[in-house]
Amino acid sequence: MKKIVIIGANDFQRPLIKKAGEMGYETHVFAWRDGATGAGDADFFYEISITEKEQILEICRKIQPDAVSTIGSDLANITVQYLAEKLGLPGNSSACIENSTNKFAMRTAFQKAGIPVPFFQAVSVGDRVFPESFPVIVKPTDRSGSRAITKVYTQEELEQAITQAAEQSFENRAIVEEYIEGAEYSVETISYKGEHTCLAVTKKFTTGSPHYIETGHLQPAPVSEEMYGKIQDTVFRALDALEIRNGAGHSELRIDKAGNIRIIEIGSRMGGDCIGSDLVPLSTGQDFVAMAVDTAAGKPPVFTEKKKKVSAIRFLMDSNDLKHLQELQKEHPDKVKKVVLEGDVEQAQITDSGSRPGFFILQTDTMEEMEELFYHGPWENPLRELPVTPIQKLRFTGNGRDNAETAPVYNHFYMKREDLLPYSFGGNKVRFAQKFIEDMKREHCDSMIIYGNYHSNLCRILATLCFQLHLPCYMVHNTEDVKEDKETENSRIIRSMGVTEIPCKKTEIADAVQKAVDELREKGCKPYYIYGNTRGEGREWVPMEAYREVYQEICCQERKMGIHFDYIFLASSTNATQSGLLAGSLEEGDERNIVGISVSRNETRGKQVIARNLEEYAQMHKSSLPQNFKEKILFTDQYMENGYGTYSQDTADLIRSIYRSEGTPLDMTYTGKAFCGMVKYLEDHQIRNKNILFLHTGGTPLFFDFLEEYNL
Q: Is 89 helix (H, G, I), strand (E, B) or coil?
A: coil
- Asked if 449 contacts 502 with a C-beta cutoff of 8 angstroms, the reply is no
How would you write 343-359 as a 3-class SS string? CCCCCCCCCCHHHCCEE
- The one-letter code for the residue type at 122 is A
The dihedral sign for the CA sequence 58, 62, 66, 71: negative
Query: Hey, CA dihedral for 570, 576, 580, 583, is it positive or negative?
Result: positive
pLDDT of residue 404: 46
> What are the angstrom distances between the C-alpha of 247 and each of 81, 187, 289, 297?
11, 14, 10, 10
Alpha-carbon distance of 118 to 146, in angstroms, equals 19
Phi then psi dihedrals of residue 150, to 5 deg: -135, 135
Residue 33: enclosing H or E segment and its boundaries?
A: none
Per-residue 3-state assignment (H helix, E strand, C coil) for 450-493 = EEECCCCHHHHHHHHHHHHHCCCEEEEEECCCCCCCCCCHHHHH
Q: Three-class SS of residue 576?
A: helix
CB 118 within 8 A of CB 180: yes
**In angstroms, rounded to a whole number, what is the distance separating the alpha carbons of residues 31 and 56?**
10
Q: Which residues pair with 482 in a beta bridge?
A: none
Main-chain dihedrals φ then ψ at residue 339, nearest 5 degrees? -135, 130
pLDDT the model gives residue 402? 47
Q: Which amino acid is at 539?
A: R
CA 432 to chain centre: 21
Give yes or no for a contact between 106 and 139, defined as CB atoms under 8 angstroms apart: no
CA distance to 200, 280, 281, per residue, from 188 (Å): 5, 8, 11
* Residue 710, pLDDT score: 76
Query: Residue 212: its pLDDT value, please?
Result: 84
d(CA 490, CA 481): 15
User: Quick one: DSSP state of residue 628?
Assistant: T
B/e letters for 455-473, b = 16+ CB within 10 Å, e = fewer, are: bbbbbbbbbbbbbebebbb
Distance CA 19, CA 17 (A): 6
Task: Say what the pTM is.
Answer: 0.85
Identify the CA nearest to 12 among candidates 32, 30, 37.
37
User: What is the enclosing helix (H) or strand (E) of 698?
Assistant: none
In this prediction, residue 482 carries a pLDDT of: 66
3-state secondary structure of 65: coil
Ranges of residues in the chain with a pLDDT under 50 are: 401-404
Evaluate the CA torsion angle 432, 433, 439, 442 in order and state its sign: negative
